[in-house]
């Protein structure tokens, strides 16, 4: 079983819509959860972190964490063409301190 | 504050040669992580250095090695290069003992093996 799984995508949404990106993880002891954005040819950039069950909002981005169901999601409201990128889910695996394990990512395309 | 810096930006090597990639972490960060991002394969964990010691190693052959210097900068060495080593190599840093901090990535080194 893969440690961090993301829907393979790609995901296409119209401008102004809500984009929903999902991620599941296998280690129940995972403690820290992150979303990175990676534009084509660039390095990943941290956009959200979440550690407790529930929602965390930052501007147009909302991260949601459900540890019982072992999933974490990212909602992007009022999607813009500039949001078109690959989004990577990352999780700290228990027992490995701060080492992050990444999902394969999902590519989001926002249509003007 | 300067970010994570990597050099060189691009590197072209011939199969069988050795490649050396370098990384300088953010000032105050003592942990350095190396990841390989091959086309279509996502980020694969290579190595983690902290306080000069190797803390963890991913599922890569021994020809991938590295070290961390007293100033916390790091070097990744890839010996006996193979065509499938062609990838973007990313370095990231974080403060020690702060797992909630996440990583800051450098801009990467694009290694091409011909």
Distance from CA of B10 to the nearest CA of A (A): 12
| Chains A, B: CB pairs < 8 Å | 55
Please state, in angstroms and rounded to a whole number, the distance separating the CA atoms of residues B7 and A4: 30
* A40 touches B: beta carbon within 8 Å: no
CB < 8 Å to B107, chain A? 42-43
Contact B30, B39 (CB under 8 A): no
Dump strand ranges (E) for chain B.
5-7, 10-13, 19-24, 31-38, 42-50, 53-57, 64-68, 74-78, 87-94, 104-105, 109-113
pLDDT (tens place) for every residue of chain B, 114 residues total: 679 999 999 999 999 999 999 999 999 899 999 999 998 788 999 999 998 999 889 999 999 999 999 999 999 999 999 999 999 999 999 887 665 678 899 999 999 999
Asked if B100 lies within 8 A of A49 by C-beta distance, the reply is yes
CA count, 13 A, side-chain hemisphere, A44: 33
The answer to whether B2 and B102 have CB atoms below 8 angstroms apart is no
Contact B53, B74 (CB under 8 A): no
């Amino acid at each position: 079983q893969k440690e961090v799984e993301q829907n393979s995508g790609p995901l296409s949404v119209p401008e102004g819509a809500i984009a929903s990106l999902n991620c599941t993880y296998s280690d129940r002891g995972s403690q820290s959860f992150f979303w990175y954005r990676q534009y084509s040819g660039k390095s990943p950039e941290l956009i959200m972190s979440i550690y407790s069950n529930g929602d965390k909002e930052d501007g147009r981005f909302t991260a949601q964490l459900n540890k019982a169901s072992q999933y974490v999601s990212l909602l992007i409201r009022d999607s813009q063409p500039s949001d078109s990128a690959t989004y990577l889910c990352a999780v700290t695996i228990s027992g490995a301190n701060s080492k992050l394990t990444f999902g394969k990512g999902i590519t989001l395309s926002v249509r003007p | 504050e300067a970010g994570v810096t990597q050099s060189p930006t691009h590197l072209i090597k011939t199969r069988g040669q050795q490649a050396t990639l370098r990384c300088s972490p953010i000032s105050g960060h003592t942990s350095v992580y190396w990841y390989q991002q091959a086309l279509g394969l996502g980020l694969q964990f290579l190595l983690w250095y902290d306080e000069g010691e190797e803390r963890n190693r991913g599922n890569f052959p021994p020809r991938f090695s590295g070290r961390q210097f007293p100033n916390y900068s790091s070097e990744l060495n890839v010996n006996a290069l193979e065509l499938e080593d062609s990838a973007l190599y990313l370095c990231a840093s974080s403060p020690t003992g702060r797992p909630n901090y996440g990583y800051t990535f450098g801009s990467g080194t694009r290694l091409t093996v011909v």
